[in-house]
Amino acid sequence: MDFYQSYVKTYIERDVNELIKAKNHLTFVRFMTSVAARTGQIINYAAISSELSVSEVTVKEWISILEKSGVIYILKPYAASVLNRSIKTPKLYFRDTGLCSYLTRWLTPETLKNGAMAGAMFETFVVNEILKSYANEGLDYDFYVSFYNGKDKKKVKKNGGAENVDGEIDLIIQENGILYPVEIKMSASPKADMAPEFNVLDKIPDTKRGLGTIICRTDRKLFLRENLVALPIDYI
pTM over 0.75: yes
Supply the pLDDT for residue 62. Answer: 93
Q: What percent of the chain has pLDDT over 70?
A: 88
- Contact present, 197 and 179 (Cβ < 8 Å): no
Per DSSP, what are the bridge partners of residue 180? 173
Q: Residue range 19-38: average pLDDT? A: 83
How far is CA 49 from each of CA 41, 67, 129, rounded to the nearest angstrom? Answer: 16, 18, 30
- Count CA atoms within 13 Å of residue 115 on its CB side: 15
Burial class (CB in 10 A: 0-12, 13-18, 19+), 207: middle
- Count CA atoms within 13 Å of residue 20 on its CB side: 17
Per DSSP, what are the bridge partners of residue 93? 73
Per DSSP, what are the bridge partners of residue 77? 147
What architecture is domain 2-235?
A: Orthogonal Bundle (1.10)
Torsion sign over Cα 23, 68, 146, 101: negative
- Give the model confidence (pLDDT) of 140-155 as tens digits: 998 899 999 886 555 5
Domain regions of the chain by residue span: 2-235
Cα separation, 4 vs 95, whole angstroms = 14
Supply the pLDDT for residue 190. Answer: 95
Q: Residue range 25-41: average pLDDT? A: 93
- Give the model confidence (pLDDT) of 95-123 as tens digits: 999 999 999 999 999 999 999 999 999 99
Supply the pLDDT for residue 84. Answer: 59
Cα separation, 106 vs 102, whole angstroms = 6
- Give the model confidence (pLDDT) of 183-211 as tens digits: 999 999 999 999 988 988 988 888 999 99
Supply the pLDDT for residue 102. Answer: 95
